[in-house]
Amino acid sequence: MSEELFNLRSQLSFYKYYHSDRINVLIHSIFVPIILFSGCAILHHIKLYKAVTLTHLMSVLYGSFYCLLYLPTGLLASSLLLMINLCLDKNWVQISITESLGLFALGWVVQFIGHGFFEHKKPAVLDNLVQSLVLAPYFILFEFLFKLGFFETLNKQLEDDIDKMRA
């Protein structure tokens, strides 16, 4: 296992390299959460054991990885995943499998459009499927935190990393 796997800066740099256009980042900021929620809603129909679903397992795996990258934001991301699970478990959000599939597909289509028209770069998912799927929600959380003024040093380091990658 590479030491880069659990290096927050390395992971965020990988994803940020593919997302530097502000319109594309805005598109992703809207549609990554939609894909995450609709994907969870779809996987929630797959029972693993009694009331435990594939969404529960995915949330534990994602949350664990995020916590290994950086505990404070990992806990924040895990709490957001917990809220998604509660919404689905308690039926606080009524969404059919058809609606979930439609939102999931829409989210992907819009993101590919964002890459084609604004970013002019292929999506990260084409270079590393698993890393992109796991990292996208965490990256969007960090983009939100950057906009709020948190982690200014990390944000600057990521910008510097991207400049070096492009040079």
Write the CB contacts of 8 (distance below 8 Å, at least 6 apart in sequence): 69, 70, 154
- The rounded distance, in Å, linking the Cα atoms of 62 and 123 is 21
The whole-number pLDDT of residue 3 equals 78
Q: What single-letter DSSP state applies at residue 126?
A: G
Write the CB contacts of 20 (distance below 8 Å, at least 6 apart in sequence): 119, 162
- The rounded distance, in Å, linking the Cα atoms of 142 and 91 is 29
Do residues 123 and 36 lie in contact, with contact meaning Cβ atoms separated by under 8 Å? Answer: no
Q: What are phi and psi of 47, to 5 degrees?
A: -85, 135
Q: Percent of the chain at pLDDT above 70?
A: 99
Residue 123: closest CA among 9, 32, 30: 32
Confidence bin at 63 (pLDDT 50/70/90): very high
pLDDT tens digits for 67-107? Answer: 999 999 999 999 999 999 999 999 999 999 999 999 999 99
The whole-number pLDDT of residue 167 equals 86
The whole-number pLDDT of residue 22 equals 94
